Amino acid sequence: MTHTPKIEKISVFDRINASALMLLTSEYKSLEQLRRKNDYPMFPTFETTPSMPIKRTKINGVDIRYAHSEAIGKPTLVMLSPFPQSILAYAPIWTGLAEHYNLYAYDMPGFGGSAGGIEYMSFKAQGDFLKEFLNHLDIQEPHLLGPDVGMPAIVYYVGTYDNDVKSLLIGDGPAINPSSNASAIRKMVDSSFWRTVFKVTGAGSLVQGCIKVCYTNYRPNQEEISDYIASYRNRIPAVMQWFKDYPKSLATVDPLLDKIELPTQIFWGENDAILYVDNGERLAKRMSNAELTVFKDSGHFCYQDRYQEFSLMVKYWIDKTQ
């Protein structure tokens, strides 16, 4: 018998909590103005989610959800999941990229559809796991792509371990110190009170809040939303540890930036209301072999907000650095 996943929906409670949070989010008014300018869609950008070849494996005893489209003889690209989304966030660009690359994406342990808990809630732990993932699947000479929480994992890995990585594509995440944090991140990082609020209100409220504050062009469909809520149902307390230890983790990763000489494509949404775009600008100046692409009129989820442009950027970069 085929198991049909339960459809998780945004509840009235979630909407009320997210709306209350927006009243205390200084960037929200300008984001709403930008959405009106962009003719933000009333209906999902994709009625149905483009298919991805979802697989599972155990690494160090931890159940990991990943996707893989094999393309023998072509460059390899490995993509790390963002938060509070999952690898389904890459569905809009998957098919196009799979035509050109031996393509992987995985939900980092403790995030998305993978198992794992508080023991993985640091930049170092995720960087260590990236090494394990590549070794487990015998992935060689990859290009690594990681927005959001995936970005510091990649920086830690390539800055710490000997590797055969070809290039990096990183953005919308923390790595440089000091970090220019928008109000939502400041709440999670700086305030035990707000971390408790996020723990109590749960996954649905967090996902709905991010829909309001991270998108300026793209509207997710019910399948995407359901997967994101299911990914973090009863897991927000563990994830909040990642934010509690954010300053400590940042101090670990920042010095590694000066050691990284790999070709690095930095990307950012011009109107990112989670981590301001000046993080990307300073990162591009700090790293010795980096270029910056800023997606105009785009939010934190720029890989979806500008998914067509983002896909072209990835293809251009890999062709250039392979």
Amino acid at 159: G
Sheet arrangement for strand 76-80: 54-59, 62-69, 102-106, 76-80, 142-147, 167-171, 264-269, 290-295
Q: What is the pLDDT of residue 1?
A: 42
- Confidence class of residue 6 from pLDDT cuts 50, 70 and 90? confident
What tens digit of pLDDT does each residue of 209-257 get? 999 999 999 999 999 999 999 999 999 999 999 999 999 999 999 999 9
Q: Please determine, for residue 300, whether its predicted confidence score (pLDDT) is greater than 50.
A: yes
Q: What is the pLDDT of residue 5?
A: 72
Mean pLDDT, residues 87-95: 99
Mean pLDDT, residues 88-117: 99
Paired residues of 181 in beta bridges: 275
The overall average pLDDT reported for the chain is: 97
Q: Count the Cβ atoms, other than its own, within 10 Å of residue 267.
A: 26
Q: Please determine, for residue 3, whether its predicted confidence score (pLDDT) is greater than 60.
A: no
- Confidence class of residue 4 from pLDDT cuts 50, 70 and 90? low
From 2.30.110.10, 3.40.50.1820, 3.40.47.10, 3.40.190.10, which CATH number describes the 20-321 domain?
A: 3.40.50.1820
pTM above 0.85, yes or no: yes
**Nearest of 285, 279, 258, 280 to residue 267 by alpha carbon:** 280
What's the angle, vertex CA 173, arms to CA 167 and CA 179, rounded to 5? 120
Paired residues of 269 in beta bridges: 295
What tens digit of pLDDT does each residue of 104-135 get? 999 999 999 999 999 999 999 999 999 999 99
Q: Whole-angstrom distance between the N-terminal and C-terminal Cα of the chain? A: 44
Q: Count the Cβ atoms, other than its own, within 10 Å of residue 96.
A: 16
Mean pLDDT, residues 139-160: 99
Q: What is the pLDDT of residue 210?
A: 98
What's the angle, vertex CA 226, arms to CA 306 and CA 94, rounded to 5? 40
Domain ranges of the chain: 20-321
